[in-house]
Amino acid sequence: MSSTRPSGSEPGHDVVIVGGGVAGLAAAWRTARRGLSVAVVDPAPGSGATHAAAGMLAPVSEVTYTEEPLLRLGLASLATWPAFRAELEDESGAELDYRTEGTLEVARGTDDMAVLDDLAAFERTLGLRVERLTGRECRSFEPMLSPSVRGGLLARDDAWVDPRRLVRALLTAFEKAGGTLVAERAAGIVLPGRGSPSVRLTSGGTVPAGRIVVAAGSWSAALLPGLPVRPVKGQILRLRGPRGFLTRCVRGLVHGSPAYLVPRGDGEIVLGATSEELGYDARVTAGGVYELLRDARELVPGLTELELAETAVGFRPGTPDNLPLIGPTGPPGVLAATGHGRNGVLLAPVTAEAVAALLTGGAVPEAALSCDPGRFHS
């Protein structure tokens, strides 16, 4: 994060990307790799929704499998994750804590089990490897699971990654590819009558750009008024325990809410997440923390002994149809890459690929065509 230049003196770039979360940085890296001169404007890369994110790469879950375009997009991105990860780790020299032990989706009652059976049947039609497990089998995989777990599904193709490591690796790879980080806050986009647009900084300087990509998450509508993106507040907890307390991601429906536990290699366990339509209310609340702990505890009772190491709030960029906004937004030379909701980490590779293709004239991945922001203009 060393490439900051003094404001007011920014040279022009082929592309200026506003927002250094996973979407913006992944797009920046892939675009720089294609030979364009790219700058990312962000005072603190990875400090937005990415900072709170758990990092599951799980396109199919009980909450999304009825949304087909989103599901196809997620599957397309998941398919490219292994190559994306290998290249990124290679170029950055960093490790992402990319884990592939799979997700265990557990059921505690007969009703839950019926829901999981439907889900399993659906996943198999997609060619995904899903195994139906008894409660006993679930506990043999994850001994910390509650005795009340009646059965589950092991989704072997689900993986996960540490979003904070991901941001650091993307930033390193981006800078190694010749990219520039402008560690300042964007105040707006200047669209002259003719000529190229530029990004105005809160410090007063401007960054001239051939083209601009707005990847500012839920704040993107402040730069592109009318863009249908809104903040969906998520509260999320990080526990610290002994390594191996859990090996797999564990998910389950508790009190009607999806709860998940995502273990990292260093013993951290991420408990997520609330979903609240409260605008930019950044408070960690007593009720949010209570419900996350209550629900996770019903899946894994022994977590009560672990340290509560962190509470955090993130604002997922939500859209009316839960699909991202990737593509032209109206003003000439200005693209969007936002609206990824709870799927920013999963969708980073396909988003990067789509943005790079839009900027360099390549083929946009087919699954990403449904993300054209123009769908809200008709």
Binding site for a second copy (CB under 8 A): 237, 239, 283-290, 293-294, 296-297, 303-308, 311
CB 34 within 8 A of CB 352: no
Nearer to a second copy, 51 or 297 (CB): 297
Looking up tokens 């019903």 gives 298
Q: C-beta of 147: minimal distance to a second copy in Å?
A: 18
Nearer to a second copy, 40 or 306 (CB): 306
Q: C-beta of 288: minimal distance to a second copy in Å?
A: 8
Nearer to a second copy, 296 or 354 (CB): 296
Q: How far apart are alpha carbons 37 and 26 in whole angstroms?
A: 15
Residue 61 structure tokens = 């879950």
Q: How far apart are alpha carbons 333 and 269 in whole angstroms?
A: 42
Determine the residue type at 196: S
Nearer to a second copy, 22 or 303 (CB): 303
Residue 356 structure tokens = 């790079």
Q: C-beta of 52: minimal distance to a second copy in Å?
A: 15
Q: C-beta of 307: minimal distance to a second copy in Å?
A: 4
Q: How far apart are alpha carbons 13 and 230 in whole angstroms?
A: 29
Nearer to a second copy, 113 or 293 (CB): 293
Q: Write down the H helix ranges in 34-67.
A: 49-52
Q: C-beta of 299: minimal distance to a second copy in Å?
A: 13
Q: Which of 350, 340, 333, 347 is nearest to 220 (CA)?
A: 340
Q: C-beta of 275: minimal distance to a second copy in Å?
A: 16
Nearer to a second copy, 37 or 311 (CB): 311
Q: Which residues of 278-308 are buried (b: 16+ CB within 10 A; e: fewer)?
A: eeeeeeebeebbebbbebbbbbbeebeebee
CB 250 within 8 A of CB 141: no
CB 314 within 8 A of CB 52: yes
75 in helix, strand or coil? Answer: helix
Q: C-beta of 42: minimal distance to a second copy in Å?
A: 27
Q: What angle do CA 180, 329, 3 make, to 5 degrees?
A: 5
Nearer to a second copy, 100 or 311 (CB): 311
Q: Which residues of 210-224 are buried (b: 16+ CB within 10 A; e: fewer)?
A: bbbbbbbbbbbbebb
Nearer to a second copy, 243 or 294 (CB): 294
Q: C-beta of 266: minimal distance to a second copy in Å?
A: 16
